[in-house]
Amino acid sequence: MALAFDPASASITAKAVGAKADIHIGTQLALLHCTVNANLNVANVDTGGRGDKGPMINFTARVFFPTDPNSGANKIEISKWDFGIIQVSDVQVFEARYAGRRESEGEVTLNLKAGFRANPSLDADEDLPDMIFEPRLLTVTPVFAPKAGFQVEFKPGDNPNNLFPLKIINKATDSPNFLFSARRDEGFITYFVARDPAGKTHHLARIGWHLVWHGTCRWTSPSAKPTAMMLASRIDIGQSVNDDPANTAFPAMFAVAKNPQRPTTNECHNEAADKALAENPVPPVHVALKARRSDVPVNFFPPP
Confidence of residue 291 (pLDDT cuts 50, 70, 90): very high
First to last CA, the chain: 79
Which value, to the nearest 10 degrees, does the dihedral of the CA atoms of residues 258, 263, 264, 265 take?
A: -110
Q: Which three-class secondary structure state does DSSP give residue 121? A: strand
Q: Per-residue pLDDT tens for 234-266?
A: 999 999 999 999 999 999 999 999 999 999 999
pTM score of the predicted model: 0.96
Q: Which three-class secondary structure state does DSSP give residue 294? A: coil
Question: What pLDDT, on a 0 to 100 scale, did the predictor assign at position 125?
Answer: 77
Question: What pLDDT, on a 0 to 100 scale, did the predictor assign at position 134?
Answer: 87
Residue 127 pLDDT > 90:
no
From the number of C-beta atoms within 10 Å of its C-beta (0-12, 13-18, 19+), residue 174 rates as exposed
Q: Per-residue pLDDT tens for 182-214?
A: 999 999 999 999 999 999 999 999 999 999 999
Three-state SS letters, 45-112? CCCCCCCECCCCEEEEEEEEEECCCCCHHHHHHHHCCEEEEEEEEEEEEEEEEEECCCHHHCEEEEEH
